[in-house]
Amino acid sequence: MEFSARQIADFLQGEVEGNPEEKVSKIAKIEEATKGSLTFLSNPAYTPHIYKTGASIALVSKEFKPEQPLNCTLVRVKDPYDALASLLELYKSSIPEKNGISELAFISPTASIEGAAYIGEFAYIGDNVSIGKNVKIYPHCYLGDHVTIGDNSTLFSGVRIYENGSIGRECTIHSNAVIGADGFGFAPQSDQNYRKVAQIGNVIIEDLVEIGAGTTIDRATMGSTIIKRGVKLDNLIQIGHNVVIGENTVMAAQCGVAGSSKVGKNCMIGGQVGLSGHITIGDNVKMAAQTGVPSNVKDGEIIMGSPAMEASKYRKAFIYFRNFEKLAKRIDELEKEIKKLKYL
C-alpha cells in the first residue's frame, strides 16, 4: 500500500516541505532507508544521517533546521516519534485480524466466550474460564481453571496462565510468558532441608498492560500479585509472589523483583535492575540499568549503582572508584612520608 507525503501530513496534521506527491510503501531506519521508504528523525544524534538517507519522506520536528541540502521530502510534525507510532498503528490496523475458533483447540464445556474471539490450534481453555469480546488466543496457549480474560486482549503463542488468574481489558501478553506459577516459598527445616509452602493466591493483571516474551509473574502465597493499569513489562522479567507494580510503571528486560515488594506508579526501571524483597519503591522513581536496590526508595528519586545510591552522588563517587589504584598508591606514599617525619 502506498501513501503520499500529502496523505501522511493530513493524517498527522503536519506540513509538507518538498514534493507533496512523493510516495512511500515501507518504513525504515534513517541510516538504512532506501527509495520508497518513510523514515523519521527524533534523536538529534541521528541528524547527520538525514543528509545522506535514501528515504523518500522523513518525519521531522517543526523546529528542525537543515544545515545541508536534503534529498527527501519532509513532513514536519510536533513530535516525530509520536507521529511514527500513529503511522505504525495505522499500518497494523490494515493487517487482517485473526478470527474464528479452531476445531483443534480444547475448550471446556463450562468455559464462556463472550462475542467474537480467535482461539488457535492446540490452545487449552480450562473449566469455568471467562473470555471477553474480541479476545485473541494464539496456538498452544494454556488457560487454567477459573481464568478471566478481559475484552480486546491478546495472548500470543505459548502463553501460560495458571488457575484463578485475571487478565484485564486490552492487555497484550507475548509468547511464552507464564502468569501464576508458584511463588518461591520454602520453609527451612531442622534437618537442613526445605518444606514447600503452598502458594494459594493468584495474579491480577489490570487493564492496558503489556507483558513481554518469556516474562514470569508468580502467584501470591496468599492474596494477589498485582500488575496495575498501564504497566509495561519487557521480555525476560521475573516478578515474585505478592509483588505490586503501580500504574504506568515501565520496566526493561531482565529485571527481577523479589517477593512482597511494592513498586509505585510512573516509575522507569532500566534493564537488569534487581529489587530485594519486602521493600517499597515510591512513585516517579527512576533506576539506571543494573541498579541493585536493597531498601526502600522515596518518591521521585533517581538512583543507580549496586547497592543503589542517589544518581548524582554515584557519579561523583565513581570518579574515585575508577582512580582507586592511583589513590591507594598515593595514600601508601603519604604514610611512608609520615613515618619518616616521626623520626626527625
How confident is the model at residue 74, as a pLDDT? Answer: 97
Long-range pairs, 230-235, Cβ under 8 A, ≥24: 230/206, 231/206, 233/209, 234/271, 235/174
- All structural domains of the chain with their residue ranges: 3-93, 159-307, 313-342
pLDDT single digits (tens) 228-260: 999 999 999 999 999 999 999 999 999 999 999
SS3 letters across 158-195: CCEECCCCEECCCCEECCCCEEEECCCCEEECCCCCEE
Q: Give me the phi and psi of 149, to 5 degrees please.
A: -120, 125
pLDDT grade for 195, boundaries at 50, 70 and 90: very high
pLDDT single digits (tens) 12-52: 999 999 999 999 999 999 999 999 999 999 999 999 999 99
**343: pLDDT strictly greater than 80:** no
Segment 185-205 shows an average pLDDT of 94
d(CA 299, CA 297) in angstroms, rounded, equals 7
Segment 60-75 shows an average pLDDT of 95
Strand-pair category, 172-173 with 154-155 = parallel
How confident is the model at residue 199, as a pLDDT? Answer: 96
Average pLDDT score, the chain = 95
Fold of 3-93: 3.40.1390
Residue positions annotated with a catalytic role: 241
Segment 310-327 shows an average pLDDT of 82
pLDDT grade for 344, boundaries at 50, 70 and 90: low
Segment 263-281 shows an average pLDDT of 98
pLDDT single digits (tens) 98-151: 899 999 999 999 999 998 999 999 999 999 999 999 999 999 999 999 999 999
CATH class name, domain 159-307: mainly beta
Segment 88-100 shows an average pLDDT of 85
How confident is the model at residue 323, as a pLDDT? Answer: 81
